[in-house]
Amino acid sequence: MSVDVTDATFQRDVLASSKPVLVDFWTEWCAPCKPLAVSLDELSSEMGAKITIAKVNAETSPNITNKYGVRGFPTMLIFKDGQVLASRSGAMPKNKLREWIEQSV
């Protein structure tokens, strides 16, 4: 299951994490965000030992969304040791998500 992250918890849950974290920036009105969330939840269960999957609602956490220049949804950033390793915008099939994660971490 993915972790909900906010402006207040981003430092602790993402930047200070001991393992890589994929952060999915999403909004309620984003149609492609919904099927992506299902794939990310499944990958969280399957790959949880390797990477944490986190979700940021861009509308309720605007500070962190703006800090990383996220303008389109969904946008995914992979963090490791407090730094952005990779980024992708737009939805993609679960198998492509897995490939991207495995290539990035």
Residue 23 belongs to a domain with what CATH number? 3.40.30.10
Is 30 a catalytic site residue?
yes
Catalytic-role residue among 30, 37, 53, 78: 30
Q: Are strands 75-80 and 83-89 parallel, antiparallel or unpaired?
A: antiparallel
HSE value, Cβ hemisphere, 13 Å, CA-based, for 5 = 26
Q: What is the pLDDT of residue 15?
A: 98
Coil, strand, or helix at residue 52?
strand
Q: Which domain holds residue 19?
A: 3-104
**Span 41-48, mean pLDDT?**
95
For 68-90, the pLDDT digits (tens) are 999 999 999 999 999 999 999 99
Look-up of token digits 């950033």: 77
Please, which residues bridge with residue 80 across strands? 83
Catalytic-role residue among 5, 21, 33, 101: 33
- At residue 50 the predicted structure's pLDDT band, cuts being 50, 70 and 90, is very high
Domain count, the chain: 1
- At residue 2 the predicted structure's pLDDT band, cuts being 50, 70 and 90, is confident
Is 33 a catalytic site residue?
yes
Q: Are strands 3-5 and 52-57 parallel, antiparallel or unpaired?
A: parallel
Cβ-Cβ contacts under 8 Å for 83 (sequence gap 6 or more): none
